[in-house]
Amino acid sequence: MVLARLQQLGLDMAELQADHLCYRVGSAVRYQEMQSELAGLGVLLGESIVGGRPIATYRLHEPVRVQGQVVDVVELPAPKPGSPYPEGFEHAEFVVAGELEDLLRTHPSLDWDTGGLHKAHNPELRLRLGAASAKFHRTALAELIAAEKRDQA
């Protein structure tokens, strides 16, 4: 759904590389269950505390192929206390080859959320697409996790 919607909005999917999918769960118990399920489908790249709750990231043994894009990383955030989410895929993230500002200039009529554009680590743009969203950044999540591990060593 996200890819088709981005194409409808006029984004050139050839200029975007699918990075990862985010799968939300509604409870801590379901987070643990999904961790077990994803561990059977891939390898844990890392789990860290972000925004006061753990987020686990897995590289799948078998990538998901959707409309010419290949995605092999799934992000699994635990729910924030008091912020329930319906279970399911919530957003897809894409690596942009150029500058994020180029997306803004090329597609000025889109309703960009620029709140993450000035983040210190891996700035991002977001487009809300109904119940889902697409995020765009310069560095792949797996690369960020690998860099964090190197810095901690």
In 3D, which of 69, 66, 88 has the Cα closest to residue 77? 88
Domains and CATH numbers, the chain: 2-152 (3.10.180.10)
pLDDT band, residue 79 (cuts 50/70/90): very high
Which of 4-18, 82-96, 105-119 reaches the highest mean pLDDT?
Answer: 105-119
Q: pTM of the entire structure?
A: 0.90
Residues 6+ apart with CB under 8 A from 44: 38, 56, 57, 58
Between these two residues, 89 and 59, which has the higher pLDDT value?
Answer: 59
**For 106-151, what is each residue's pLDDT tens digit?**
999 999 999 999 998 899 999 999 888 999 999 999 999 998 888 8
Mean pLDDT of 2-8: 87
**The two structure tokens encoding residue 125:** 């743009």
CB contact at 8 A, 16 and 95? yes
